[in-house]
Structure 1
């Protein structure tokens, strides 16, 4: 047995495959891309014994080895290529025990490739709810491979699964000894020629080379031409043969299921609540009403429950800053540490509670099975705008981050619908926008209660997210006529039953989201905060060094804290950052923004979340902190508009900024991902252009109307 064997987990979508992967690997998972493709790859270690640590690879979900979407192609590309670095030593096929007939189609295809297979029967509780009893022993005898009963939600049966995998590694049982489907019986000469000319020993693998050589990344162009000539020579009809194969397999599977699955007495099982709930949640009116209510609860909870730890963190960072300034000697290094580094870190950690609460609640919806219902009810609406139900997954994922959301669009088989989804997904408000939204809303929207638990702040936050969704749909409708496609889109999905959320998996999702925000966004925010401190501390000429002298001449009556604040503001205005801000101020003045906000806009073009950290750094440098003006919110609330003498952040300016950030494409990673997914610069540049025009135009309109 190899020291580090590769174990691939394969299965249909929504049958607990990823739950099993999480149980086996826990928090030791690694996320990357499969070689040569941009499809996300999850892998992790699994100790089989003291000397053997297997590498578990979670392959994308699919219904058969004939892929319909880009991410599904990865599976057959690996299983058909023994030289692939992720080619498995054992394949664990996870099957839904409540719908065994459909799941065994994929199992028989994988088994016919000649790979050592273990069949893991999951969702046995759902099968019991449907009055079904699966005899795993009889099924194992029929299939000729180990069959294990598991519960991926709670981790039951993992020891038995480990034993079965070790058994297959040490003494493989290959079910292909008697084919579930043998293509050589219909086309012996074609299959023989493919095997002979390509050093292939497996009949079914030879068939896939014939039928799918165009999508195999490991098949060179000259081989593809050779396969096409073989197909023409032997009169092979690809589409018809695939249909005949599927019918043959289901005929075999029927016999297997009849012998292994029995219906038990109804009084032995619990009542099935799924259908009763679906009558409400899939209703053409109440389904949407419930979805809106759920969204409102989520966004209100983000404001209500996250505010307490956020205030503690904000005050704690302000106290730390004051303590450092009091203990450390005055000088540039102390200013860099306090006004640059600590202010930048404060702009990161303060939003951890909101990120954690948001993803906790979204994970509950996914784990419970409700998110699948949202996809179904949204399909009819989506089609009016050129999308389909599968577009809901990228759009909802966009609430977390647009980069993986855009990559998730690979599950959409239709090219036009996939492209439209990619182009509009960045309009969904991602977690990077959440810090901007909550700070600006807290500044200008009162926490007035509406209907008891709900407040105006929560309603405003939900309104911004709905604005992003509505703008995404309208944009898709506007663009769809300019994207040509002869394909017909379709949406087929089997909904999972409702389940109690797996708290362990919810915890992993929250941890991953917070970790990603802190490590990825945090690095950018802190780095830019330090750069900004340098740019805001130094400037051309001797204006900064003579700041105190200049202020004393211009305003001789100022003393104490007023004098210090005036000097600090003068230094910031005449720094390099101040010059940059003044340079772009004429372009952003119609939106209500001043040169300080202009600095933050420029900085946040790298990543939106930089905005709040930038403002924290700018206002830390632009004024002297005191007990009542030490937190991020307090500094922004205390900022005065020099033209009016009133508060800078009026409702008109705040909502102008909110609208700007709803629409602006301010994320270099997203642009790079779109370029990679669309294989060129055409569509990302179109996306950048239309989102920038929308952001500027609607922010201008908002400010002028509310002013």
Structure 2
């Protein structure tokens, strides 16, 4: 699906641009990267009033075309380079109607690039409530563009906006905003003539940004540098003069088109709420109470659907063994594929609950307050205030969180943020925590409503965040980060969450978990089944003879013989041999060779631990007892002591190992891409593995 019209959404952060993108495209969207860079590119498709399909591109949020990060550089590259695959036929500028003066600065810049423009005047309901009266027709007339007042969250006027997009002119008709050529007359004309640029403002932006534009050939960039020197071009002075001229233009427009009700100044509701939610004591108390509720909900609300999914897979496994003929294919399907799938799908309810909560916190505007509150704490441990965003994002996944660290201008602050973000417990660790906690922590309630398992889960998340701060402080001392970064953030007003948006986010995240993590888990489950089912042929033949001998047949029942044979065959399989080889190094942590296999396979993705356990214990189990993964692990016994394998000490030792270990190839790959060096991912791998080992050793010896 290519789309008949290419529409780019552009706007300041917190203007509702992403909400409008979701409203226009619905489920018909995908996320990738802009060519050549690790910057998110969200594209989707929208059916227009005239029957055509528009391809909608959600450009990174930016306050200006003058970039302060890689994300913002992408915006000008897409708009200036006509050969860029994302270069739009039409620009949809999303502006916050309640803060029009600041939002129109970006509009005046993109308008001067002379690409056809429509303004989506979002949050018009909030502007009206605040007593702002906008004469939309007059504003449209003065700017020379269509201005459509909308409320993306409620879906108001979206059909009218689609009509405007469908019948938008193919040439730019917007009025000139400022006299661009007057800012640097000789320079602009010369760049236009020599670099063959048709628009004066594009030529001026090339003078400002040519060093960072990837599409510009080196020879042209060098020539622009020579022209700058010829005309004594001073970038910051010209930029300041341009900004003043633009605000003069904006003030004139707004004077004639926007009226404010003359009321005595009073605090709006958001400010009153902020006095409590960002309070230096109550703010943190409320934040931890919300976290507490989240982790209680993950256990309490997911119990019933998880039990249903477990029961379904137990039934499927039993039915498959009864219906299908016994043999290699059936064993592979049941003990490899089905066991791996159960390890993925059983955690869908918990993943959905986690992302529902995170989406609600973001949608209401509360997450922005959390980043604001955490700013001072961040600085004390050597991080930039902007580090809060990657660290909180790390609760979902380290990969996009590390990419979001690009907004941190200070290089050393950015490196420290990248190095500690994988310590924050991501959603991939959630299945491991919940599985092990459910094995060793009783499902009891204190005072009738505090679930002990939820408390244990919250403890793991708090531990990971505290360790991230400790490691950041240590790295601050080692790397000597003395340069001062800055943290500028606009707090959005509080709003009711948009439930369809939250539903869409839950759907996307669960789909990503099932299909992205699921593919890896099922593939590894199949490979593991093969390694766990086969071993050196000579050894396997000896085992068959051993259990067919008269001595064994006389002393054991057929069921006991099958169980003993399965256990010994697993121990002497290729997987067992490998597990036994690493067992001496992990035994001090309380881990046996079976857990050792899961530690190695988890380097593909941490979630693989559950699939590995399901496969290992399916191969080890007799067909008469096809229980869920949890039950198999609970029944596992240590052959040396006769005690359960997963004791309280072993479970928490294992959780701490997974909390701190770098077991995610995708994260290592993204760190390499972001730092352009193998040095940092290798340091990260070594320090996190060492930290995990020694922390796990300490926990096991304290608890056993």
TM-score > 0.5 by shorter chain: yes
Q: How does 1:680-695 map to 2 (within 5 A)?
A: 680-695=677-692
Q: Secondary structure at the match of 2:93?
A: strand
Deviation of 1:252 after TM superposition, in Å, equals 1.7
Instruction: Sort the Cα spacing of 1:3 and 1:328 in 2 relative to 1 into closer, same or farther, 3 A.
Output: closer
Q: Secondary structure at the match of 2:538?
A: coil
213, 226, 231: which is aligned to 1:229? 226
Residue aligning to 1:240: 237
Residue aligning to 1:675: 672
Deviation of 1:450 after TM superposition, in Å, equals 2.5
Query: Contact 1:101/1:253 (CA < 8 Å) preserved in 2?
Result: yes
Q: Secondary structure at the match of 2:48?
A: strand
Deviation of 1:183 after TM superposition, in Å, equals 3.3
Aligned length: 701
Q: Secondary structure at the match of 2:7?
A: strand
Query: Contact 2:382/2:481 (CA < 8 Å) preserved in 1?
Result: no
Deviation of 1:451 after TM superposition, in Å, equals 4.0
Q: d(CA) in 2 for partners of 1:221 and 1:479?
A: 37
> Higher mean Cα deviation, 521-530 or 485-494?
485-494
Residue aligning to 1:511: 507
Q: Is the aligned partner of 1:696 residue 2:687?
A: no
Deviation of 1:3 after TM superposition, in Å, equals 6.6
Residue aligning to 1:577: 575
Q: d(CA) in 2 for partners of 1:445 and 1:266?
A: 58
TM-score normalized by the length of structure 2: 0.96
Residue aligning to 1:617: 615
Query: Contact 2:3/2:55 (CA < 8 Å) preserved in 1?
Result: no
Query: Contact 1:427/1:471 (CA < 8 Å) preserved in 2?
Result: yes
> Higher mean Cα deviation, 598-607 or 7-16?
598-607
Q: Is the aligned partner of 1:495 residue 2:529?
A: no
Q: Secondary structure at the match of 1:262?
A: strand
1:200-222 alpha-carbon deviations (Å, 9 max, x no partner): 12111111011110111111222
Q: Is the aligned partner of 1:285 residue 2:277?
A: no
381, 385, 388: which is aligned to 1:389? 385
180, 185, 188: which is aligned to 1:183? 180
Q: Secondary structure at the match of 1:224?
A: helix
Residue aligning to 2:201: 204
Residue aligning to 2:588: 590
Instruction: Sort the Cα spacing of 1:138 and 1:487 in 2 relative to 1 into closer, same or farther, 3 A.
Output: farther
Residue aligning to 1:522: 518
> Higher mean Cα deviation, 40-49 or 350-359?
40-49
1:119-151 alpha-carbon deviations (Å, 9 max, x no partner): 111112221232212221111111111111011
> Higher mean Cα deviation, 489-498 or 243-252?
243-252
Q: d(CA) in 2 for partners of 1:625 and 1:549?
A: 21
Q: Secondary structure at the match of 1:41?
A: strand
Instruction: Sort the Cα spacing of 1:457 and 1:227 in 2 relative to 1 into closer, same or farther, 3 A.
Output: same
> Higher mean Cα deviation, 88-97 or 394-403?
394-403
Q: d(CA) in 2 for partners of 1:23 and 1:266?
A: 35
Residue aligning to 1:641: 638
TM-score normalized by the length of structure 1: 0.96
Deviation of 1:547 after TM superposition, in Å, equals 2.9
1:253-277 alpha-carbon deviations (Å, 9 max, x no partner): 112222222123669x999421121
Q: Secondary structure at the match of 2:55?
A: strand
Residue aligning to 2:413: 417
Q: d(CA) in 2 for partners of 1:140 and 1:486?
A: 49
> Higher mean Cα deviation, 667-676 or 166-175?
166-175
Q: Is the aligned partner of 1:650 residue 2:647?
A: yes
Q: Secondary structure at the match of 1:68?
A: coil
330, 343, 347: which is aligned to 1:347? 343
Q: How does 1:329-408 map to 2 (within 5 A)?
A: 329-408=325-404
> Higher mean Cα deviation, 553-562 or 500-509?
553-562
Query: Contact 1:126/1:497 (CA < 8 Å) preserved in 2?
Result: no
Query: Contact 2:340/2:612 (CA < 8 Å) preserved in 1?
Result: yes
Deviation of 1:592 after TM superposition, in Å, equals 0.6
Deviation of 1:391 after TM superposition, in Å, equals 1.8
Instruction: Sort the Cα spacing of 1:486 and 1:476 in 2 relative to 1 into closer, same or farther, 3 A.
Output: closer
Residue aligning to 1:122: 122
Query: Contact 1:3/1:51 (CA < 8 Å) preserved in 2?
Result: no
Q: Secondary structure at the match of 1:362?
A: helix
1:686-707 alpha-carbon deviations (Å, 9 max, x no partner): 1111101101110011111111
Q: Secondary structure at the match of 1:214?
A: helix
1:130-188 alpha-carbon deviations (Å, 9 max, x no partner): 2212221111111111111011112211122123223333464233xx3x232321421
> Higher mean Cα deviation, 333-342 or 128-137?
128-137
Query: Contact 1:70/1:410 (CA < 8 Å) preserved in 2?
Result: yes
Unaligned runs of 5+ in 2: none
Q: d(CA) in 2 for partners of 1:464 and 1:500?
A: 30
Instruction: Sort the Cα spacing of 1:481 and 1:223 in 2 relative to 1 into closer, same or farther, 3 A.
Output: farther
> Higher mean Cα deviation, 457-466 or 75-84?
75-84
Query: Contact 1:356/1:514 (CA < 8 Å) preserved in 2?
Result: yes
